[in-house]
Every structure is written in structure tokens, then in C-alpha cells.
Amino acid sequence: MEPLLKVVDLYKIYSNDQVKTPALRGVNFEFFSDRFYAVIGKSGSGKSTLLHLLGGMDVPTKGQVFYRSKEIGKMKDAQLSKLKRQKFGFVFQAYNLLPELCVLENIMLPADLDKRKVKKEYVEEILNTLGIQDKIRKYPSQLSGGEQQRTAIARALINQPEVIFADEPTGNLDWESGKDVIDLFVKLQKQFHQTIILVTHDMDIARCADTVIHIQDGMIVQD
């Protein structure tokens, strides 16, 4: 079976004032469709760097990232932008909602930017699944942290992406709200059959995934 995403001999080195800091050191891994992956490691281990390279948000110092056998690093800017808009969804620790837009407008923003029509039934399904159907006319400042993160997740889902990248999505939430968000990811993966790649430092969260990838000092030490 062809992997959905694949990294080959992946290195990332950050340079600052002539000091070189290796974030990833020779990572190889394959990600398959319709699975929930958790990438776990301590702060500075390289887990978020891996996520950013997989999602085309950064470029490797050495090595290759493939999406369905196509090397992301060789894509033109327009092609990569289209890939990120249509096939990838992103959820971060910071909700990144636009304060001047209501919940529904924030959710629909990726589809509007892509000039894509989304079926009303699908929008309603997302809203109901995430439990924010009664919040669509509210603004981010009127929501709790958990409700803002649910809105961010809905926004990531609106273009029906193949992959959801989530970088510490519970980092700004209390324990109960964080647990609810992880339960939602599990439910969403089963319901919409997407691949979820979630970065966390919490083993209790990682245990909800189908596959757990442990990163230490920029290398995969166990999966």
C-alpha cells in the first residue's frame, strides 16, 4: 500500500549567530491513510519541526518529504499552496481565529479563499459533531478556550482534507477541555476517515492514537 506521506533521511538544522542546532537527524517514516498518529517527545526533541516539514510549512536542510509519491520540496509555490489548502488541515496550540469574524465566518474562511462551495449538510455535520452549532454567530472573544479550539478544528475540516496536522492542540486548555478535544479527534478520525498527525508531550493523549512515534534528540527512537 502506498503511503500517504513519507519522509526520507530528513534533517533540519537551525542556524543562529553561527551556532548550528540540529532539530531532526536522519528521520525516516511512512504515514498511511485513515490512521491516527501521535508524535511524542520532550520540548526541543524535534516533534513540531517534523510536523512543520510534513505540512510544507518549512523546508528540510537535507532529505525529502513525499505526499503520494510527489516530493513536496520540488513543488512550485502555487502547487504547494493548493496542496495545503485542499489536502491539509492545520490545528495549533494558538487558535489563530480572526477576531472580527464570527464563528461561522472563521470556519468557512479556507473554503471562501479557495472559492469552494461546501455542502450545507457537511457544514451542519461538522458543527453538530463538534458541538458548536449554537455558537456560529458569536465572536471568538465570546467563546471559551475549548470552544475556540473546536472552531479551529472545524475550520481545519471544512475543505475535507486528507490529513489533519495538530501541534499541541490542547496546550492552552484545562485538563477537561483538553480531554474533550482529544476525544473529538478520535471521533473525527473514525467518522471522516482522515489521517491525523498530532504532536504532544503527554503520553496519556498519545495513547488514544493508533500509532505512537517517540522522538528524542531529533531521531525516532520508537514507534
Mean pLDDT over residues 117-146, rounded?
Answer: 94
Q: Is residue 1 part of a domain?
A: no
Residue 29: pLDDT band with limits 50, 70, 90: very high
Q: What pLDDT does 55 receive?
A: 96
Q: Is residue 7 part of a domain?
A: no
Q: Is residue 118 part of a domain?
A: yes
Q: Which three cell numbers stand for residue 58?
A: 518549512
d(CA 191, CA 14): 39
Q: What pLDDT does 56 receive?
A: 95
Q: Is residue 101 part of a domain?
A: yes
**Contact assessment for residue 23 and residue 13, using Cβ atoms and an 8 Å cutoff:** yes
Residue 223: pLDDT band with limits 50, 70, 90: low
| DSSP 8-class letter at 168 | S
pLDDT digits (tens, 9 = 90+) for 168-184: 998 888 888 888 889 98
Q: Is residue 68 part of a domain?
A: no
- The position carrying cell 458548536 is 132
3 state SS of 84:
helix
Closest alpha carbon to 40 in 209, 202, 162: 202
Looking up residue 183, the CATH number of its domain turns out to be 3.40.50.300
State yes or no: pLDDT of 67 exceeds 70. Answer: yes
CB burial readout 93-102, b (16+ within 10 A) else e: bebebeeeeb
Q: Which three cell numbers stand for residue 26?
A: 536522519
Q: Which three cell numbers stand for residue 59?
A: 523546508
d(CA 100, CA 140): 8
Q: What pLDDT does 176 receive?
A: 87
Beta strands (DSSP E) in the chain are 5-16, 19-31, 36-40, 62-67, 70-71, 88-92, 163-167, 195-200, 211-216, 219-222
d(CA 121, CA 133): 12
Domain containing residue 155: 34-48+77-222
Q: Is residue 12 part of a domain?
A: no
Count how many domains the chain has: 1
